[in-house]
Amino acid sequence: MNTTGSKQQVLADYQANQKTIDEIAHEHHVSTATITVWAKKAGLPLRRRGRWRMNEPCSRTKAILELAQTITCAAAGRRFGISRQGAWRMVKRWKPFVCPLTDADLTGDIERIIRRTVTPYVDPSNPMLNLDELQAECRAKLAKIIHGGRLANCPTRGKVFAFVKASFRNHVRSLVQKYAFTAKRTGVEPPPRLPLGAGCVTTARKVQVIRLDDPEIEHQVGREDDRLRYSEFVEELFAKLPPSDCTQLSALIDGSPTNGEACFMDERSLKAERKARRKLLRKCRAILTA
Same domain, 247 and 270: yes
Same domain, 114 and 88: no
What is the distance between the alpha carbons of residues 290 and 285, in angstroms, rounded to a whole number? Answer: 8
Q: Is residue 87 part of a domain?
A: yes
Q: Is residue 211 part of a domain?
A: no
What is the distance between the alpha carbons of residues 3 and 163, in angstroms, rounded to a whole number? Answer: 62
pLDDT at site 200: 52
Q: What is the b/e burial string over 199-211, where b = at least 16 CB atoms within 10 angstroms of the residue's CB? A: eeeeeeeeebbbb
Q: Is residue 208 part of a domain?
A: no
Lowest mean pLDDT among 143-152, 181-190, 203-212, 232-241: 203-212
Highest mean pLDDT among 48-62, 78-92, 97-111, 272-286: 78-92
Q: Which among 131, 150, 184 is the end of a domain? A: 184
277 confidence band (pLDDT: 50, 70, 90): confident
Q: Is residue 263 part of a domain?
A: yes
Lowest mean pLDDT among 29-33, 178-182, 263-267: 263-267
Q: Which among 184, 211, 238 is the end of a domain? A: 184
Same domain, 70 and 31: no
Q: pTM for this one?
A: 0.39
pLDDT at site 214: 57
Q: Considering the chain, what percentage of its residues have pLDDT values greater than 90?
A: 7
Q: Is 70 exceeded by the pLDDT of residue 201?
A: no
User: CB under 8 Å, gap of 24 or more: what pairs does 187-191 form?
Assistant: 187/219
Same domain, 107 and 179: yes
What is the distance between the alpha carbons of residues 79 and 252, in angstroms, rounded to a whole number? Answer: 90
Average pLDDT over residues 133-157: 84
Same domain, 26 and 66: no
Same domain, 12 and 75: no
Q: Which among 184, 206, 235 is the end of a domain? A: 184
Total tally of structural domains belonging to the chain:
4
Q: Is residue 205 part of a domain?
A: no
pLDDT at site 98: 58
pLDDT at site 135: 92
Same domain, 66 and 31: no
Task: Give the domain extent around 12.
Answer: 3-41
Q: Is residue 172 part of a domain?
A: yes
What is the distance between the alpha carbons of residues 184 and 187, in angstroms, rounded to a whole number? Answer: 6
pLDDT at site 75: 87
Q: Is residue 236 part of a domain?
A: yes
pLDDT at site 290: 67
- Classified as helix, coil or strand, 258 is coil
Burial (CB < 10 A; 0-12, 13-18, 19+), residue 282, is exposed
Q: What pLDDT digit, counting tens, does each position of 10-25 carry? A: 888 888 877 888 888 8
Q: Is residue 209 part of a domain?
A: no
48 confidence band (pLDDT: 50, 70, 90): confident
- Classified as helix, coil or strand, 140 is helix
Same domain, 121 and 179: yes
